[in-house]
Amino acid sequence: MSSLPRAVVFDLDGTLVDTAPDLTAALNHVLPRVERGPVTVESVRTMVGQGLRKLIERSLVATGGVPDGADIDAMFVSAFEFYREHLIDQSVPFPAARDVLDHLTNDGVTLGVCTNKPAALSETLLGELDLIDYFAAILGGDSLAVKKPEAEHLLTTLAHMNVATQDAVMIGDSQADIEVARAAEVPVVAVSYGYTMIPVNELGADAIIDHLADLPETLLRFT
């Protein structure tokens, strides 16, 4: 009889929580200072990844290119402060997220989060959404000197969970998630509803799910 893996590590934005609306609001807070914007939630869903600074740069490119003399650092500081103050205005867990986390933890699976979102924001977000207690470890993009797709980010998350790579599966939505899993030699499941600039079926995941509710059954393939 198949059993679930000992551990599952989740990406955060676009995998567990739909944060795009609040990220969009932060971008639209700063884009007018360079006479740009607004961007739409739909467009931001294809731009998220590698942090807020990169998201600002991508939003500038999407609205006409990075202007000469644009102060990206100042835009980042302003957008970050706005986002921190409006972290969960519109952000919600994806459908079935809580049920799936309950299912996995009730079956003894150790859970973690490996995200490029800053650790403090990640913990606040999960705390405000009443999800934080599910996770044995939460490592953000500033927890280490490296972040996804560098293998060390995922490997250190697993170390904090006291789990070996052969006992774990990564769940994510983007190229960085697939690449970090490959670098760490951990199987990876991609969600089709997340934030990615590359079609999910081109990312090279070991499995793709359309709904988080499908995750427990899909995980049985990896044991």
Residue of 11, 18, 22, 177 with catalytic role: 11
* Average pLDDT of the segment spanning 184-197: 96
Question: What whole-number percentage of the chain has pLDDT above 70?
Answer: 99
**Predicted pLDDT of residue 2:** 61
For residue 89, the Cα-to-chain-centroid distance in whole angstroms is 18
pLDDT above 90: residue 51 = no
CA 89, CA 91: separation in Å to the nearest integer?
A: 6
In which region does residue 67 sit, left (phi positive, over 0), alpha (psi from -120 to 50) or beta (all else)?
A: beta
Residue 103: both structure tokens together: 């299912």
**Predicted pLDDT of residue 157:** 98
Which residue type does 190 have? A
CATH number of 20-85: 1.10.150
- Our answer to whether residue 130 is catalytic in this structure is no
pLDDT above 80: residue 70 = yes
**Does domain 7-18+91-222 match CATH 3.30.1330.60?**
no
| Nearest Cα to Cα of residue 118 among 90, 158, 87 | 87
pLDDT tens digits for 3-33? Answer: 899 999 999 999 999 999 999 999 999 999 9
Domain ranges of the chain: 7-18+91-222, 20-85
pLDDT tens digits for 136-181? Answer: 999 999 999 999 999 999 999 999 999 999 999 999 999 999 999 9
With the CA atoms of 138, 129, 148 and 10 taken in that order, what torsion angle do they form, in degrees rounded to the nearest 10? 80
CA 28, CA 24: separation in Å to the nearest integer?
A: 6
Q: Three-state secondary structure along the chain?
A: CCCCCCEEEECCECCCEECHHHHHHHHHHHHHHHCCCCCCHHHHCCCCCCCHHHHHHHHHHHCCCCCCCCCHHHHHHHHHHHHHHCCCCCCEECCCHHHHHHHHHHCCCEEEEECCCCHHHHHHHHHHCCCHHHEEEEECCCCCCCCCCCHHHHHHHHHHCCCCHHHEEEEECCHHHHHHHHHHCCCEEEECCCCCCCCHHHCCCCEEECCHHHHHHHHHHHC
